[in-house]
């Protein structure tokens, strides 16, 4: 038996003002953000100060605070999770469900199959 655990890779497209800016990837161990090469070639700004516009891999063991900040908190989050039957611990899943059409800022996040 293979001792290496198989972790499903989850993918999302990160859009800024409706244009693809980059990709957010996640498995059970790590979150990764990378800019789209076409977006890097444009004069557009970075998606956030924590993600300077550069051809590099941003990696974290936890969902980046910038993306967590797009999610509701406290009682609002609890109510939404109960209403939509979402797991409040699945931050990536919440982001895909709740940030795909409208957020407080210019960033939206859409799942990629």
The arithmetic mean of pLDDT across residues 59-86, rounded, is 94
Residue 5 above 80 pLDDT?
A: no
Q: Given this model, what pLDDT does residue 18 score?
A: 93
DSSP class of 107: E
Q: Is the per-residue pLDDT at 53 higher than 50?
A: yes
Question: Where do the domains of the chain lie?
Answer: 10-111
User: Averaged over 70-89, what is the pLDDT?
Assistant: 94
For the cut 80, the answer to whether the pLDDT of residue 7 exceeds it is: no
φ, ψ for residue 111, nearest 5 deg: -65, 150
End-to-end alpha carbon distance in the chain: 29
pLDDT digits (tens, 9 = 90+) for 18-42: 999 999 999 988 999 999 999 999 9
Helices (H), the chain: 37-41, 65-68, 74-84, 91-98
């Amino acid at each position: 038996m293979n001792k290496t655990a198989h972790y499903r890779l989850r993918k999302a497209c990160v859009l800024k003002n409706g244009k693809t800016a980059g990709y957010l990837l996640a498995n059970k161990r790590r979150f990764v953000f990378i800019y789209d090469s076409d977006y890097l070639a444009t004069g557009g700004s970075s998606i956030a100060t924590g993600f300077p516009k550069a051809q590099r891999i941003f990696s974290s063991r936890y969902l980046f605070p910038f993306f967590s900040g797009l999610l509701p908190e406290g009682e609002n989050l609890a109510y939404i999770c109960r209403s939509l039957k979402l797991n409040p611990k699945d931050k990536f899943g919440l982001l895909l469900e709740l940030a795909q059409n409208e957020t407080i800022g210019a960033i939206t996040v859409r799942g990629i199959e």
